[in-house]
Structure 1
């Protein structure tokens, strides 16, 4: 899936707006709109890098034939661009790596914003040296070669507990991961900013001496008082 220049510019503008939000605010906004909230369990493998980008999806599966051809993910990395985040479904498998150092190097060279894999990775030191964000369920040195194959790319995938479509907005930080459906992105963005503003006001009141029980009213946290 390749996007034209006007689409990429629109993506960049949207991502800049999401970049100022943490996953807690985005998760609350998603849930308030009846969408799947954020999820945990897939964490940064080094430091605390934040990732905000457009999902480029890949589904992996156990190899069921003799290995041949290019390594998994290489074709998708070659087509990826500077607004993209690679989102890899590997059914939570952690006994074999689904991402490694050479892939980090290739993705970094393409300007890719990061990778999220529902599986394990290896060569974390290389990703760290490159400053390339890798989110995974864990680390393992065992290679994917001869064990995994690329089943599909550019198709909807089940990533942990959430279905991710190509073009969805992905927000990841040390709290977890949120997936924002592309068709609802503007709506979620507005709701998340309201959550963030409401919580900032509550924090300001507490710092000014307000009682926690008064500042953190359930109706206020739920946004019900915004419409009063």
Structure 2
């Protein structure tokens, strides 16, 4: 995608994009599976879950291990592990504050678009100290189908009163890119746990190393943001 972008808003994934939580979730689930004897392909399976909502991840576990899989027990262990990992705080991804400051300074409409539940989104954004920056938060609780369905992104654009085509979506996962691209948003990927596939790259307007690069690219490619003093 070449030339200037016609951008009116920015839609931001949460886990793995703004918050460094995907590694916490990944390690928490792998530890829960390993402790209960499901170590054979736990790492590969958990990698495939990155960017998917909880119900989809549970379905993958049942599909892989069968209906006798102790899902409730694994979920409890996952939550214990997750809370233990988060005791030290919830770190932001590099460039998060700079990007949010730049968008706020430009009076740019923005929204959180996450596959997490409302409860998880509120908790994680609060733990990370950035909850107050967002008036619009779309979560798995707001739609019938989470990512990779486009429903969350379509709803986010409607909430902002805009067409998806004039929204930038910032995602970290292949599943997230599938969702935002299907909605028609201009998609930027900042990979976290998994690199983009060739198919994912083809759906992106840009694949960038961090959120500082996203801010720089928005300043260069859109009229939405301008360099200070310019």
The structure with more radius of gyration: 1
Give the structure-1-normalised TM-score: 0.30
Give the structure-2-normalised TM-score: 0.30
**Higher fraction of helix:** 2
**Higher fraction of strand:** 1
